[in-house]
Structure 1
Amino acid sequence: MDPFSSSSHNLILSLVLLLFFTFRGVSGTTFTFVNRCDYTVWPGILANANSPRLDSTGFELPKQTARTFQAPTGWSGRFWARTGCSFDGSGSGSGSCTTGDCGSGQVECNGAGAAPPATLAEFTLGTGGQDFYDVSLVDGYNLPVFVEGTGGSGQCASTGCSTDLNRMCPTELRVGDGDACKSACEAFGTPEYCCSGAYATPATCSPSVYSQMFKAACPKSYSYAYDDATSTFTCTGADYTVTFCPSSPSLKSTPMTATPSQGAATAGSTPGFAYSDSGAGSGSGSATGTGTGTGTGTVPGSGSGSGEAMLADDGSWLAGLAMGDSNRAGPLSITSIALCIILSYLFL
């Protein structure tokens, strides 16, 4: 065998692998939102102060439907579902929601966060390292939320709260006719419940009887501000599905259409869940702590995630055409393939 030919094949193989993993790493993460509630929800999206906004900051998600968004590497932010919303369609800003309202008066939240109580799904996507994610009840609870990762490496545990806490919510925390359940901080506003003032450290702020109730019902979710050890999860290189009302039995095995959406092409990078919103509440931490700050990034971009999908009996996703195990493999572009072909002709 010609030793030059052998070394050329090895070089080409190395370049192909390098291109594949390089493009796989920078293409970002696909978030799929699934509504298995028996009613329409209006998810809200709040990007971290130093992260670019995604294609939408709020949208309508009818029952039995799903929608995908692309987020850049390093993105950080939170998702939640608004319920009982009414919008006039004119963009006048006169709309409102029963729970999780962001106060914009519109379907889009435009950089505003959820008014407590609201169940939050929080993410910090790694820049070549681990993603951090959690489901938080620190700002209260309005509906069940479940998060699962696919196509990643590491522990990649699923997390969330599938229990209907509204049914067991104490009277002093209950909102309306059981529409939502406040946190003790939101209900009473005292430092010992809010982990503020003299109680602003893990050593001085202990779980209350109310947060212990939340924790017993949803062991993997944040129940109070310093609940990091059993509530923060990690994964590397995954795409994520955020499901609202995951245990609704009537929607199992029901076909769902994944609506295409545009993402953001420019990455922001802020460790931890270091943002605050326009509503009250303390927010939850991550492995890197909590912080303050308002606003969102304003860097629009492109990118997409789309395809037909069906929710199988076991709750897993059957990806649509050309989606593969993970949309992160998608951006292996025509330019990259052409480069590989040219290199092959040069060295063969």
Structure 2
Amino acid sequence: MNVANFFFLIIPILIASFSSSHASIFTVTNNCPHPIWPGTLSGAGTPPLPTTGFRLESGQSIRIPSTPGWSGRIWARTGCNFDESGIGKCQTGDCGGRLECDGNGAAPPASLFEITVGIGDDKDFYDVSIVDGYNLPLVVVPRGVYGPCNATGCSYDLNLGCPKELQVVGGENGGVQGGVIACKSACEAFGLDQYCCSGQFSNPNTCHPSIYSSIFKHACPKAYSYAYDDGTSTFTCKAYDYTIVFCPDPNGSKGTTNETISTPPGMEDPADGEFIHLVSSSTILQVLPFSLVIINVFFIFINLFF
């Protein structure tokens, strides 16, 4: 193979590889006045993210890379206490009593960010769900590859208005002593088919919003409030970054999730904030811009053949 043929063969391969490997970064930000312990859970058939659980101090952010086609959930735990080996327990959102969730999901009630990342040019599908209950305010702002996308989430503190029969009362470390630290779903609280959309209520024709899910929906109109709440709660985008903010400031300027915004309400752009870096298997990988990849390949090519 001559030099010219090699060059024109390798470039298309690199371009195809870059296109197929494009995936979103999840920028997780803790705007709460206390530590949180985010957890991640991958869907069936998709690999785990570089971390499945970690501590995030107030004011800190972290970037987590995904892979094309990744599907799963991200949430935050509160009131956690772990020993040096990572064994312990959280007051809300616990995932099997470990710092790293390792395939365990969030124990309800917990506010969830759910997403399926598109492959290639396919769009991402994402939502914020309080179907399994609620523990923290959560807003997600995608930064679109081809333009702006819809922010979604629930910036209102549902714990403040949680009906007494749904309340979870907790203690210290992320919850006010004796205060409400989470709000159960009606399904978890009562276990009835009509609330759980199960049995004879397991289809959209028979399962309708309950008085409890309607309270959630009124406060958080863009979040999933019950199992068949698809129409106003699922969004699509092709994004290079999803900024996931726990405890956004609901009083920030233009601080509603009904608007398409580029920066979460009541917080600085993550580029100006404090970022922490994971170590070992959780190290954040930074993807080089495509132009730099081509330039590097070009110089390698020159060094090899000239």
After TM superposition, the score normalised by the length of structure 2 is 0.80
Question: What is the match of residue 122 of structure 1?
Answer: 114
Output the CA distance in 1 between the equivalents of 2:236 and 2:21: 18
% identity of equivalent residues: 50
| 1:111-190 superposed matches below 5 A | 111-128=103-120, 129-153=122-146, 156-176=149-169, 177-190=179-192
Output the CA distance in 1 between the equivalents of 2:218 and 2:279: 38
2:29 is aligned with 1:29: no
Q: Is contact 1:32–1:67 with CA below 8 Å preserved after alignment?
A: yes
| 1:31-50 superposed matches below 5 A | 31-50=26-45
CA deviations on 1:293-334 (whole Å, 9 max, x unpaired) are xxxxxxx898614xxxxxxxxxxxxxxxxxxxxx6xx25386
Output the CA distance in 1 between the equivalents of 2:92 and 2:99: 14
Question: What is the match of residue 85 of structure 1?
Answer: 80
Aligned in 2, Cα 1:237/1:143: closer, same or farther, shift over 3 Å?
closer
Q: Is contact 1:70–1:262 with CA below 8 Å preserved after alignment?
A: no
Q: Is contact 1:34–1:242 with CA below 8 Å preserved after alignment?
A: yes
CA deviations on 1:118-156 (whole Å, 9 max, x unpaired) are 000001001120100000000000000111111423662
CA deviations on 1:201-243 (whole Å, 9 max, x unpaired) are 0001000000011000000000000000000000014311111
Given the alignment, which residue of 225, 228, 236 partners 1:226?
228
CA deviations on 1:85-118 (whole Å, 9 max, x unpaired) are 0112234x3x111111112x22111110111000
Output the CA distance in 1 between the equivalents of 2:229 and 2:63: 30
Question: What is the match of residue 332 of structure 1?
Answer: 290
Shift of 1:55: 1.1
Q: Is contact 1:34–1:64 with CA below 8 Å preserved after alignment?
A: yes
CA RMSD, 1 decimal:
3.0
Equivalent position SS for 1:187: helix
- Highest RCO, 1 vs 2 (Cα 8 Å, sep ≥ 6): 1
Aligned in 2, Cα 1:64/1:17: closer, same or farther, shift over 3 Å?
farther
One-letter amino acid matched to 1:149: P
Q: Is contact 2:29–2:243 with CA below 8 Å preserved after alignment?
A: yes
Question: What is the match of residue 210 of structure 1?
Answer: 212
Equivalent position SS for 2:277: strand
Given the alignment, which residue of 46, 61, 70 partners 1:66?
61
Q: Is contact 2:63–2:284 with CA below 8 Å preserved after alignment?
A: no
Aligned in 2, Cα 1:90/1:108: closer, same or farther, shift over 3 Å?
same
Aligned in 2, Cα 1:333/1:110: closer, same or farther, shift over 3 Å?
farther
Aligned in 2, Cα 1:301/1:24: closer, same or farther, shift over 3 Å?
farther
Aligned residue pair count: 272
One-letter amino acid matched to 2:215: M
After TM superposition, the score normalised by the length of structure 1 is 0.70
CA deviations on 1:245-277 (whole Å, 9 max, x unpaired) are 0117797459532223489xxxxxxxxxxxxxx
Shift of 1:26: 1.4
Given the alignment, which residue of 273, 291, 301 partners 1:256?
273
Q: Is contact 1:55–1:262 with CA below 8 Å preserved after alignment?
A: no
Output the CA distance in 1 between the equivalents of 2:293 and 2:217: 50
Shift of 1:172: 0.5
Q: Is contact 2:277–2:283 with CA below 8 Å preserved after alignment?
A: no
Output the CA distance in 2 between the equivalents of 1:155 and 1:196: 37
> Structure 2 regions of 5+ residues with no counterpart?
170-178, 253-265
Bigger Cα displacement from structure 2, 240-249 vs 109-118: 240-249
